[in-house]
Chains A and B, each alone.
Chain A
Amino acid sequence: MMLSFTPDTSSARSPAHSSAHSRRNAILGSALLALAVLVLPILISASGSMTWLRIADIALLYIMLALGLNIVVGFAGLLDLGYIAFFAVGAYVWALLSSPHLAQAFPALGPEGLHWPMWVILPLGACIAGLFGVLLGAPTLRLRGDYLAIVTLGFGEIVRIFMNNLNQPINLTNGPQGITRINPVMFGQFSFGKSVTFGSITVPSLMLYYYLFAALAVLIVVASIRLQDSRIGRAWEAIREDEIAARAIGINTRNIKLLAFAMGASFGGVAGGLFASLQGFISPESFGLMDSICVLCMVVLGGMGHIPGVILGTLLLTGLPEALRHWAGPAQQALLGKVVIDPEALRMLLFGVALVLVMQFRPAGLWPSSTRQRELEELADTLPDDENDNDDDDDDDDEASQRSKEVRS
């Protein structure tokens, strides 16, 4: 009896011990991370590089986008190749409601068009994008895998082509020229579009945006974590694993899938609105198939369904190509005397190579969920043992387990 109890108590103690330990680590980790996020833009602007500050801003937008797509692809397992359409919808909602553009088509609005406040436009953009998510989701409820991918791809293209052509009969989107003079984010009279001086410190506009985006990205991270841990999150997981079984255990797969599309799309809509305000200009060419695929790559590369992994993937795939863009040209110039490969082309090459390497060596992504990883490793360790167990058990259950316990102790 004593012997057979020993492994039980030790295995019961070690998870509890490691969970307290990991909680302390997690708190420490998030504190450090928060500090890094806060200090990063100061360091960047101290180095005098506005370009990298802009890249940091864009990376935060991509984090929101990737986390939105992660809900659809990672949580619910629905492969969406047209996700950028929701980003586009969010961006156009912001652009139309916060620029003089609509005045051309609707003179009744007055010469200045609409300039609604952010508090209205951002949630509205999220809702309209969410509605588009449902519009995409409804006809694709019965589709999965490659079929779903094709339909979503088509949907993404349809949205882009509409944006491109809706300058007739009424000029809604201004077609390929895009919409200009989009308002920056305004808090009352305080504009994020200009740098602000506090005493002797000047805070550039891009840094203001950085902190705003970081705050919203944190909100979206928290929302993602809460969703994943919720009843809805479990339903998404079940649908991802086996849809028939999910229905059999009482999950309303139709509504839960539509909810995934809508939630994912609304995150994309928020990111889109912020993108429009940051750039001050949008045109349909920012919302092509390549952009959908880029966001998907971020999710897949980092680790589908694992929030920190998705963020890592996003940072890598936004940071590295920019680094290449800045250093690949000069480096080639210095080493070879001329630029052999266009840095822009190098960027796509990097994407391809990175994906192939990840799929080959880390098929679950660079940073998959740690519990999954641990389980898989433990399983791999005990696999030969397990197989023996199975064979024995088929002969005689009790004897075999008795024997394996003896062997272990």
Chain B
Amino acid sequence: MSLLSVRNLHVAYGAIQAVRGINLDIAAGERVCLIGSNGAGKTTTLKALARLLPAQGELHYDGHDLQRLPAHGLAKRGLALVPEGRGVFARLTVLENLLMGTYSRNSSKGEQEADVQRVFGLLPRLAERAQQLAGTLSGGEQQMLAIGRALMSHPKLLLLDEPSMGLAPIMVQKIFDVIRSVTEQGVTLLLVEQNAHLALSLCSRGYVLSNGCITMQDDSKALLANPQVQATYLGMHMA
């Protein structure tokens, strides 16, 4: 029984078909990535799953028909999106950003405190910056904050959109370490990433998206070894 199952997902921007009938299955506890080049439809897929875009197809998540749920109903059912470009609340402090993450939970002060401490434990950098405005953080710290805020809602399934975007390689490594430790605590992950090498080394399985269609799906090891993937997404044709 998969936590997320997507059948024949179609998303269009007006006349332009961005996603053309893709199928995805993610079991609870899995780490799965969706890789592909610019404009392949990765972010569109993720936004459709988060109900931020109108889409056709059957979307089932944890016993819910996603097509019947509004975007704002997902957080309290454990589906959290970390949007592209992080979407931190720039003029709020780090702590205020994190507390916003509990919006859907109606939790008590004590629970919120415990959640904040849990996130600070995973992301100690945020604890150092707790009273700083989110807009003044570095890009990597903002990405950490966006992930931390999503974790405040106790997600079962985390949808992560391009966490490596615009970050220095060292910072990317740190972010991916954080993502790994988050998933090791039982959070299921669907990661959208251009950096195929990183994504495949973190995740156990991957889907390759090209022109709105899934062209390959396999274990990460198999994909990393696949000559076509190597040539197109890992930049190894140069070697």
Counting CB contacts under 8 A, is B40 at the interface? no
Instruction: Verify B73–A372 contact, CB threshold 8 A.
Output: no
Counting CB contacts under 8 A, is A375 at the interface? yes
Interface residues of A in 230-257 (CB under 8 A from B): 231, 234-235, 237-238, 241-242, 244-245, 247-253
Q: State the CA gap A376–B92 with chains docked (Å).
A: 11
A117 to chain B, nearest CB (A): 40
Residues in A whose Cβ lies below 8 Å from that of B150: 248-249
Instruction: Verify B88–A245 contact, CB threshold 8 A.
Output: yes
Instruction: Verify B100–A238 contact, CB threshold 8 A.
Output: yes
A231 to chain B, nearest CB (A): 7
Interface residues of B in 32-77 (CB under 8 A from A): 50, 52, 70-76
- Chain A, residue nearest B99 (CB): A234
Count residues on chain A whose CB falls below 8 Å from chain B CBs: 25
A30 to chain B, nearest CB (A): 25
Instruction: Verify B89–A250 contact, CB threshold 8 A.
Output: no
Counting CB contacts under 8 A, is B121 at the interface? no
Interface residues of B in 102-159 (CB under 8 A from A): 103-104, 125, 128, 131-133, 136, 138, 146, 149-150, 153
The stretch from B79-87, B179-187, B198-206 touching chain A is: B79-87
B94 to chain A, nearest CB (A): 11
Instruction: Verify B72–A251 contact, CB threshold 8 A.
Output: yes
Which of B103, B104, B136 is in CB contact (< 8 Å) with A379? B136
Residues in A whose Cβ lies below 8 Å from that of B101: 249
Residues in A whose Cβ lies below 8 Å from that of B90: 241-242
Instruction: Verify A241–B171 contact, CB threshold 8 A.
Output: no
- Chain B, residue nearest A375 (CB): B133
Residues in B whose Cβ lies below 8 Å from that of A390: 138
Q: State the CA gap A252–B73 with chains docked (Å).
A: 8
Counting CB contacts under 8 A, is A381 at the interface? no
Instruction: Verify B89–A242 contact, CB threshold 8 A.
Output: yes
Q: State the CA gap A379–B138 with chains docked (Å).
A: 13
Which of B82, B83, B93, B103 is in CB contact (< 8 Å) with A375? B93
Counting CB contacts under 8 A, is B91 at the interface? yes
- Chain A, residue nearest B72 (CB): A252
Instruction: Verify A248–B71 contact, CB threshold 8 A.
Output: yes
Instruction: Verify A245–B89 contact, CB threshold 8 A.
Output: yes
Residues in B whose Cβ lies below 8 Å from that of A237: 89, 92, 100
Residues in A whose Cβ lies below 8 Å from that of B92: 237, 241
Instruction: Verify A234–B100 contact, CB threshold 8 A.
Output: yes
B43 to chain A, nearest CB (A): 11
Which of B52, B91, B128, B170 is in CB contact (< 8 Å) with A241? B91
A217 to chain B, nearest CB (A): 27
Instruction: Verify B89–A248 contact, CB threshold 8 A.
Output: no
- Chain A, residue nearest B50 (CB): A248
Counting CB contacts under 8 A, is B238 at the interface? no
Which of B71, B91, B153 is in CB contact (< 8 Å) with A247? B71
- Chain B, residue nearest A390 (CB): B138
Decide yes or no: A394 and B104 within 8 Å by CB, A245-B88, A249-B149 being known contacts.
no
Counting CB contacts under 8 A, is B168 at the interface? yes
Q: State the CA gap A237–B97 with chains docked (Å).
A: 10
Instruction: Verify A251–B103 contact, CB threshold 8 A.
Output: yes
Instruction: Verify A234–B52 contact, CB threshold 8 A.
Output: no
Contact with B along A113-131 (1 / 0, CB 8 A): 0000000000000000000
Instruction: Verify B133–A234 contact, CB threshold 8 A.
Output: no
Decide yes or no: A245 and B83 within 8 Å by CB, A250-B72, A250-B76, A251-B72 being known contacts.
yes
Q: State the CA gap A393–B171 with chains docked (Å).
A: 10
- Chain B, residue nearest A369 (CB): B91
Residues in A whose Cβ lies below 8 Å from that of B138: 390
Residues in B whose Cβ lies below 8 Å from that of A235: 103
Residues in A whose Cβ lies below 8 Å from that of B50: 247-248
Decide yes or no: A244 and B83 within 8 Å by CB, A250-B74, A379-B136 being known contacts.
yes
Decide yes or no: A394 and B133 within 8 Å by CB, A231-B103, A249-B104 being known contacts.
no
Q: State the CA gap A390–B140 with chains docked (Å).
A: 10
B67 to chain A, nearest CB (A): 16
Instruction: Verify B83–A248 contact, CB threshold 8 A.
Output: yes
Q: State the CA gap A238–B101 with chains docked (Å).
A: 10
Q: State the CA gap A237–B134 with chains docked (Å).
A: 14
| Most chain A CB within a 10 A radius of its CB, from B71, B99, B132 | B71
Q: State the CA gap A61–B225 with chains docked (Å).
A: 72
Instruction: Verify A249–B83 contact, CB threshold 8 A.
Output: no
Instruction: Verify B168–A394 contact, CB threshold 8 A.
Output: yes
Which of A241, A247, A372, A395 is in CB contact (< 8 Å) with B89? A241
Q: State the CA gap A237–B91 with chains docked (Å).
A: 9
Decide yes or no: A252 and B70 within 8 Å by CB, A247-B52, A379-B136 being known contacts.
yes
Decide yes or no: A250 and B87 within 8 Å by CB, A231-B103, A241-B92, A379-B132 being known contacts.
no
Residues in B whose Cβ lies below 8 Å from that of A252: 70, 72
Residues in A whose Cβ lies below 8 Å from that of B87: 242, 244-245, 248
Instruction: Verify A249–B170 contact, CB threshold 8 A.
Output: no
- Chain A, residue nearest B101 (CB): A249
Instruction: Verify A249–B100 contact, CB threshold 8 A.
Output: yes
Instruction: Verify A394–B171 contact, CB threshold 8 A.
Output: yes
Q: State the CA gap A192–B88 with chains docked (Å).
A: 51
Interface residues of A in 251-302 (CB under 8 A from B): 251-253
Residues in B whose Cβ lies below 8 Å from that of A241: 88-92
- Chain A, residue nearest B131 (CB): A375
Q: State the CA gap A249–B101 with chains docked (Å).
A: 6
A249-B101, A379-B132, A379-B133 are known; give 19 further A-B pairs, CB within 8 A: A234-B99, A238-B103, A241-B92, A242-B88, A245-B87, A245-B89, A247-B50, A247-B71, A247-B72, A248-B74, A248-B80, A248-B87, A248-B150, A250-B73, A250-B74, A251-B72, A252-B72, A375-B93, A394-B171
Interchain Cβ contacts under 8 Å between A and B, 12 examples: A234-B100, A238-B89, A238-B100, A238-B103, A245-B89, A245-B146, A249-B149, A249-B153, A251-B103, A253-B72, A375-B131, A393-B125
